[in-house]
Chain A
Amino acid sequence: MANLSLKHIYKVYPNGTKAVSDFNMQIDDKEFIVFVGPSGCGKSTMLRMIAGLEEITAGELRIGDVVVNDMEPKDRDIAMVFQNYALYPHMNIYENIAFGLRMRKIPDVKRNKQGGVVLDKAGEPVKVMRRYSKEELDEKVLGAAEVLGITDYLKKKPKEMSGGQRQRVALGRAIVREPKVMLLDEPLSNLDAKLRTQMRSEIVKLHNKLQTTFIYVTHDQVEAMTMGTRIVVMKDGYIQQVDTPKNVYQDPANKFVAGFIGTPQMNFFEGTLWRTGERVEMRFKGSECSVTASYDILGKVIPRYLDGKTPVWIGLRADDITLDTGGGRDGAAIKVKISHTEELGTETLVYGDIDLARDTFGESPTQVILKAAGFKNFQSGDVVDAVLRFENVHLFDFETEESILPRVPKYNYLTCNVREGSMELLGNKLVLPDAMQCPDGEYELLLPVDALSSGGEIEAEVLFSERADGKPLARLNMGGGTLFAPIDAKAGERVQLCVDLKQIALRRDGEEVISPMPLVNSVLGTFALDRVKAARKDGKKGGNVNEYAFVIGGNKYRAPTDVAQKMFAALSGRKAFTAQFRYEFTPYDLKISEHGLPAEVEKVLDYGTEKFAKCKVCGSDFYVCVQGDVRGTICLEPDFEKIGVTETEREIKIV
């Protein structure tokens, strides 16, 4: 019955290893969240930090509205189920379930011997803490046992029970306290396959019944897919992707997620993409065959990968490769040499290789697994045609393994011509502001999707619209080119667009001629404590109080208490006063004022609608949104409520 907020959570061990890095997530009430990943990915550590069994190195963890970083597990109102059940072997089932209740006190009002409420002087009932009575215990334990169907075993000891029953007891022990959050650490991995499937659905049912937030850790992607309302895929301490099971399956953020989710594993081929007009040709390394697909399907692919040279990973699930029965679809078939098959009854898994000369055991980048319906009879060594369904193709950068076919593209990659101070973009002419003047010629244009908004003078036609990640996304046709923009419109409509020019970049010959305006200014500094005399209204001498200040370039700036508190939460003891920080401000959160950060204006950039002053602050470049013309030395007063703070030594983002 609570939502969780996890902000910039880190777990760094004394030897410097980071088990969890910059974990950010909002968990809503009644969600069923699954942390999934290979062993050592930090999922259990994260869960144990939520439980309070491990200390949080840095970051902020809230359960409900309360920051619980320094709270004992028992005060966090959570319950946890362990992999090995962790039942108390010497207690019977009743005592196991009741133990947590016996350890607790509940608020009550004081009563006299006759059962009447004792009132204090003000006539209010006197509040006391008391233990659960026997009747209350019975009621609660029996209630929990009934939910889980273990009423008959209450007198038994754990060792007299089967694995499935023990896990039910462990669940009972957790739910009897009616916690705000249920944490489950690989609860099913000690059970056999059949029992696991059964318990899986029982836990889902339990979640529906209890209407509590569940956080579930597993290394089994099937559990993750079937149980979670949202999945958190982790690797090496970093979140790889957070999304619903459907989205994680359909749009994996990178090759790791794509390979981890789904069985049999996705096929990955090394290959290249080459766009010619409306077709894209895919070549596979190790295979003679190449296939072509419509550019429509691959419209979101970052254009530089379509040059026929850049290697990419082409990912296709076994379901998206089918055996060709007839003549095959035009250009979508590839030859596969079969090595062996696995018959599963309703379908047959066919293992093969697209490299016809190869006959490998184990994994290779040319190996392929595909599904065929029903029973199929193949001889090892047969060569068949396999048809690829490109609607569901996944493409990843060869080096970074990030998806290059994102659900929401970040940038539009275009080319444009600059002539006499204005930019020709897909048949539209945009006047470049003073700040962006550059020599005439042809440029590559990097236009962020977010830099486009509706309501301007450029016109485009909506080809296709969808909602991705809860935001609208439209594919537009503009003067023959395609663009993505985050606008809400129906296909076929004509829309007016406006471009935020300060976000675009122009490149020529691999050199950035015009860079986007940085949205964050950063400067190094420290943090300090001042003891100041408290001002008291009655004029008496007051005691000293603490005031905190950011120290930037030798000057002190009063810090807001909540920011200070977050910094203290991240850095133990007085380390906050000795560490170095990187302070970040957006150009809009800096005001020119009488006092503040002294800045040397270098030049003023005019973007037409807005003006920005580029200045030096303590050796760092700052961009500040200004109204009129400014020059010389000015003072910038930041809005410290909106400051960003990062500790530099460990690179921990605090605010």
Chain B
Amino acid sequence: MKKLKIKPQKLFNVAITYLIILAVCFVFLFPILWLVLASFSKTGSIYSFEGFFPAEFSLDSFKRLFTDTALYNYPRWFLNTLFIALMSSLIGTALTILTAYVMSRFRFRTRKAMMKTTLILGMFPSFMTMTAVYLMMTQFNLINQQWGLILIYSAGAPMGYLTQKGFFDTIPSSIDEAARIDGASNFRIFVRITLPLAAPMIVYTLLSSFVWPWSDFILPQLLLKNKDLYTVAVGLMSLDDSEFSRFAAGSVFIAVPIVVFYFALSKFLISGLSAGAVKQ
């Protein structure tokens, strides 16, 4: 039998590697852990913490979050956010996927011009146009309307079609051609062939276009003046300093579903992120 021999230099190398990884993981975990702990704090103020840990633990903050709705109607905010994010994600994904498919598969006269235009438009700081959007929404009577937000989120979504286009570019065009010879129209090819093949990409797009409205704060704050229409982000920002544990609890509550999604879909995430980046 061979004797297992490890060089001390190598052992040192492994030890250092693990040490760094542990340190990095700690840094990433620390603020979140702190926030989670704070949400279980009984008193609600950060000043009552003993060092890192709250003085007393309880589930009070969560209870109050859903029961004490007179001033801060968290359940209402939550439903608002869910509605807005879901609708924008569905519409935005549909538009993005369509745009990406067309840009990848069709060759028409204005295609290159369109691609360059989106590139330049993307360089403008996104919310320097806020004033215009606000004025426009007042003109269209969409202030204090959830649909106004959904409209803005989903109309802006196709601008980020490059990732999806990169993915479609990897599907060989001979599959489309085979389907065309089999008698399918381009619409049918899209529905019966391309969409099923793009399932991972659709999931990625759904998720990423869900997260943006889910955690956006600026647009809702600008367009939603009525407290009952607040999204969670705006609502949490309107909380008092003394309500820190309520803030923490509210945050944890909306962060958990996303974190679960991300963990479950981390594979798609990696392929999705690199699909748009790697040159075709």
Contacts and interface: CB of A to CB of B under 8 A. Distances in A.
Direct contact of A and B (CB under 8 A): yes
Interface of A: 51-53, 72-74, 78-80, 82-84, 86-90, 99-100, 103-104, 173, 177
Contacts of B174: 82-84, 86
B180 A173 contact: no
Given A74-B183, A100-B183, A103-B183, A86 B196 contact: no
B202 to A, nearest CB: 13
Contact of A86 (B177, B183, B188, B197): B177
Nearest to A78: B181
Count chain B CB atoms within 10 A of each CB in A84, A86, A87 and give the residue with the most.
A86
B172 interface: yes
Contacts of A82: 174, 177-178
A79 B179 CA distance: 10
A80 B177 contact: yes
A73 B180 contact: yes
Given A84-B172, A86-B172, A90-B196, A103 B184 contact: yes
A87 B197 CA distance: 12
15 contacts: A52-B181, A53-B181, A73-B180, A73-B181, A74-B182, A74-B184, A80-B177, A82-B174, A83-B174, A86-B177, A88-B179, A99-B184, A99-B192, A100-B182, A103-B182
Count chain A CB atoms within 10 A of each CB in B175, B179, B181, B193 and give the residue with the most.
B181
* Residues of A contacting B: mostly: loop
Given A51-B181, A100-B181, 20 more contacts: A52-B181, A53-B177, A53-B180, A74-B180, A74-B181, A74-B183, A79-B181, A80-B177, A84-B172, A86-B175, A86-B177, A87-B178, A88-B179, A88-B193, A89-B175, A89-B197, A99-B184, A103-B182, A103-B183, A103-B184
Contacts of B192: 99
Nearest to B173: A86
B175 A104 contact: no
A90 B182 CA distance: 16
Count chain A CB atoms within 10 A of each CB in B172, B183, B188, B196 and give the residue with the most.
B183
Count chain B CB atoms within 10 A of each CB in A72, A82, A99, A103 and give the residue with the most.
A103
A173 B177 CA distance: 13
Contacts of B179: 88, 99
Contacts of B182: 74, 99-100, 103, 173, 177
A558 B182 CA distance: 43
B100 to A, nearest CB: 18
A84 B175 CA distance: 9
A547 B174 CA distance: 43
B37 to A, nearest CB: 46
The 9 A-B pairs with the shortest beta carbon distances in the complex, nearest first, are A103-B183, A100-B182, A74-B183, A86-B174, A86-B178, A90-B196, A82-B174, A73-B181, A86-B175
A80 B183 contact: no
Nearest to B175: A86
A621 B46 CA distance: 105
Contacts of B197: 89-90
A89 B178 CA distance: 12
A424 to B, nearest CB: 65
Nearest to B196: A90
Nearest to B176: A86
A84 B196 CA distance: 19
A74 B193 CA distance: 17
Nearest to B171: A89
A201 to B, nearest CB: 25
B218 to A, nearest CB: 40
Contact of B181 (A80, A83, A87, A89): A80
A103 B188 contact: yes
A82 B183 CA distance: 16
Given A103-B183, A103-B184, A80 B178 contact: yes
Contacts of A99: 179, 182, 184, 192
Nearest to A176: B182
A586 B181 CA distance: 43
Count chain B CB atoms within 10 A of each CB in A52, A73, A177 and give the residue with the most.
A73
Contacts of A87: 175, 178
Nearest to A73: B181
Contacts of B180: 53, 72-74
Nearest to A79: B181
A104 B172 CA distance: 24
A103 B183 CA distance: 6
Interface in B175-234: 175, 177-184, 188, 192-193, 196-197
Nearest to B172: A84
